[in-house]
């Protein structure tokens, strides 16, 4: 097993409890030393983890990935990354190589600048916030996703969560009785988007998002049973991702070859 473990942004104690347990039991532990910088020295990490770390610089990871992955089919190897393994730099190369060698991998996420930057008070993409915090208004949302796609940008849709909502009747009567929680699924979101595609066509438009637009459905990201499925928006209407929470990415069209290769690991196989 190859573990990619995020170390977070601060010092040695910003590793997660789960990450620390894995580090302490792995056969070999590499520390990636080029995409970001450590705020504490390698020695401080080694002392806190109680493990020797092997420094892996850019050349090592790119040219000697096979050394890192050696025996990882029967041993446990950890690869430590400052921030999150999928923060500023993805480690697709290493994961794709492991997959080709038949070595399973697991990711232990942590904070990266990509989310921690929110501490300044600015919020992420407009589609996201309006989507999540207001009611689900697919028509206005659709325009934003289209615009993103036309600019070559992926859109991450965090799907609607309704917790402790009151029915209108209970609200009026002042009864603190709440509806059961509801979570929008990727299927529901995809179906709503496709309805808009149809509406637009009936109005004589050819929308930038169609049945064939490449999407990615994600469920329970970061948990042991997370599911990822890449396929068309049409396929997203029926893909089975299991329970909440779901997210849906509408891709931005042109993609980097590494993005394509990674997505292929999750592609929905065509039904016969």
* CB distance 36 to 80 below 8 Å: no
Q: Are strands 28-32 and 77-81 parallel, antiparallel or unpaired?
A: parallel
User: Which residue, 136 or 266, has its beta carbon nearer to its own copies?
Assistant: 266
Number of residues that bind its own copies (CB under 8 A): 92
CB of 182 to its own copies, least distance (A): 11
CA distance linking residue 55 with residue 32, whole number of Å: 6
- Residue 171, interface with its own copies (CB under 8 A)? no
- Residue 9, interface with its own copies (CB under 8 A)? yes
Tokens of residue 41, six digits: 């020295």
Of 2, 218, 237, 241, which one interacts with its own copies (CB under 8 A)?
218
* CB distance 52 to 78 below 8 Å: no
- Residue 136, interface with its own copies (CB under 8 A)? no
CB of 198 to its own copies, least distance (A): 26
Candidate segments 24-32, 72-80, 113-121, 232-240, binder of its own copies by CB under 8 A: 113-121
User: Which residue, 233 or 262, has its beta carbon nearer to its own copies?
Assistant: 262
- Residue 110, interface with its own copies (CB under 8 A)? yes
CB of 202 to its own copies, least distance (A): 27
Q: Which of 180, 184, 261, 250 is nearest to 212 (CA)?
A: 250
- Residue 263, interface with its own copies (CB under 8 A)? yes
State which of positions 16-75 bind its own copies (CB under 8 A).
16-18, 20-21, 33-37, 39, 57-59
Q: Which 3 state secondary structure label does DSSP give 68? A: helix
Residues 117, 245, 221, 141: what is their CA dihedral angle, to the nearest 10 degrees?
A: -50
* CB distance 15 to 38 below 8 Å: no
- Residue 117, interface with its own copies (CB under 8 A)? yes
- Residue 164, interface with its own copies (CB under 8 A)? yes
For residues 78-87, one letter each, b for 16 or more C-beta atoms within 10 angstroms of the residue's C-beta and e for the rest, the string is: bbbbbbbbbb
């Amino acid at each position: 097993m190859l573990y990619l473990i995020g170390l977070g942004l601060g010092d040695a104690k910003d590793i997660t409890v789960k990450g620390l347990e894995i580090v302490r039991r792995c056969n070999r532990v590499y520390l990636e030393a080029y995409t970001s910088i450590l705020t504490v020295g390698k020695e401080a990490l080694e002392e806190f983890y109680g493990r020797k770390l092997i420094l892996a610089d850019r050349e090592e990871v790119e040219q000697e990935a096979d050394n890192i992955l050696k025996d990882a089919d029967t041993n446990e190897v950890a690869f430590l990354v400052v921030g999150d393994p999928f923060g500023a730099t993805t480690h697709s190369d290493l994961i794709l190589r492991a997959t080709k060698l038949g070595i399973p991998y697991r990711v232990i996420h942590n904070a990266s600048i990509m989310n921690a930057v929110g501490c300044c008070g600015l919020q992420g993409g407009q589609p996201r916030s309006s989507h999540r915090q207001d009611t689900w208004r697919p028509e206005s949302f659709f325009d934003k996703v289209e615009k993103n796609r036309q600019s070559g940008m992926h859109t991450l849709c965090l799907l609607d969560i309704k917790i402790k909502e009151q029915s209108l009747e209970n609200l009026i009567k002042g009864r603190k009785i709440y509806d059961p929680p509801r979570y929008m699924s990727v299927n529901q979101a995809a179906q709503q988007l496709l309805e808009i595609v149809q509406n637009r066509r009936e109005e004589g438009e050819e929308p930038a998002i169609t049945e064939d637009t490449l999407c990615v459905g994600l469920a329970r990201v970061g948990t042991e049973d997370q599911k990822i499925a890449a396929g068309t928006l049409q396929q997203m209407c029926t893909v089975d991702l299991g329970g909440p929470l779901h997210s849906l990415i509408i891709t931005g069209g042109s993609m980097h070859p590494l993005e394509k290769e990674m997505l292929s690991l999750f592609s929905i196989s065509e039904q016969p």
